Amino acid sequence: MAARASSKTSESSDKVSVICRALRRAIIEQALEPGAKLPEDALGERFGVSRTIARHALGQLAAEGLVELRRNRIAVVATPSWQEARDAFDIRIELERLVVRQLAGKLTKAQIAELNAHVDAEDRARGGTDAVSIRLATEFHILLAHMTNSPILVRYVSEVAYRCCLTLSLYSRPHSTECAINEHRAIIAALAKGDAAKVMELMHHHLDSVANRALVAPTPQRGRDLLDILAPYADEVTSNRVVKLPKIARRG
């Protein structure tokens, strides 16, 4: 029997949603790097909509954590700190353990075939760019979440997976995706077999190793924002009076 009865969860076809999807994809494929500016005007013009719509889309993406919004400032693609990246992975591990726990032994043959087909696609994409491989790997996890047919779970897994994607582009060294693909296959096998404990363990290990491979170390030099680095020092000052520094250069 299928994990649950099917139901639609796709986003509506508002102009706002269209822009959200486009930006989301651009971000996770690293066409837009973390820190990239996203002026409302430019987005509106690019997508043929008014600034109102672009603004609304940015609001949605900010709610998902993909975009940072500060009052009266240009929106930028989010630049998670190393710690936030690690936190995201920790949350992701728990959520996806829940996913596979619900799914173990409950998948139809068709669903298993769909999963295998996806991993095949990942395999074929191994020659391509890293960005595509990462996107496909992420989509595998989202596909799993969809099969639980819990819209809330889908939403959270998707969001946190996208965030992880984002951090991979920030902190990851060019990494081989082969073992990840094998781990995907192992997860499918354990799901089919119905061994919940085993598949939870597999998923945990899989995500943990992806995180460890990517988040090499708290390398404060690489892509970190100066203010983040100084934050712990500033915290020791009375929070109102900010330390006066000789012109802090923020990354453009």
**Considering only 68-76, 92-100, 197-205, 221-229, which stretch makes contact with DNA by CB under 7 A?**
68-76
- Binding partner selected for residue 142 from a copy of itself, DNA, none, CB under the kind-specific 5 to 8 Å limit: none
- Binding partner selected for residue 252 from a copy of itself, DNA, none, CB under the kind-specific 5 to 8 Å limit: DNA
Per CB under 8 A, does 130 bind a copy of itself? no
- Binding partner selected for residue 41 from DNA, a copy of itself, none, CB under the kind-specific 5 to 8 Å limit: DNA
Q: Which one of 87, 123, 130, 225 is in contact with a copy of itself (CB under 8 A)?
A: 87
| Residues of span 147-176 touching a copy of itself by CB under 8 A | 150-153, 155-156, 160, 163
Q: Give me the DSSP letters along the chain.
A: --SS----------HHHHHHHHHHHHHHTTSS-TT-EE-HHHHHHHHTS-HHHHHHHHHHHHHHTSEE--TTS-EEE----HHHHHHHHHHHHHHHHHHHHHHTT---HHHHHHHHHHHHHHHHGGGS-HHHHHHHHHHHHHHHHHHHT-HHHHHHHHHHHHHHHHHHHHH------HHHHHHHHHHHHHHHHT-HHHHHHHHHHHHHHHHHHHS-S--SSSS--HHHHHHHHHHTS-SSSPPP-S------
**Considering only 79-87, 120-128, 193-201, 202-210, which stretch makes contact with a copy of itself by CB under 8 A?**
79-87
Per CB under 7 A, does 11 bind DNA? no
**Residues 35 and 76: beta-carbon distance below 8 Å:** yes
**Considering only 22-30, 67-75, 139-147, 169-177, which stretch makes contact with DNA by CB under 7 A?**
67-75
Taking the CA atoms of 137, 63, 10 and 153 in sequence, report the sign of the dihedral they define: positive
Q: Which one of 5, 8, 10, 48 is in contact with DNA (CB under 7 A)?
A: 48
**Considering only 71-79, 136-144, 157-165, 177-185, which stretch makes contact with DNA by CB under 7 A?**
71-79
Closest CB to DNA among 113 and 245?
245
Angle at 68 between CA 62 and CA 73, to 5 degrees: 120
| Contacts to DNA by CB under 7 A | 14-16, 38-42, 44, 48-53, 55, 71-75, 246-247, 252
| Contacts to a copy of itself by CB under 8 A | 5-7, 12-14, 16, 52, 55-56, 59-60, 63-65, 70-71, 83-84, 87-88, 90-91, 94-95, 97-98, 150-153, 155-156, 160, 163, 231-232, 235
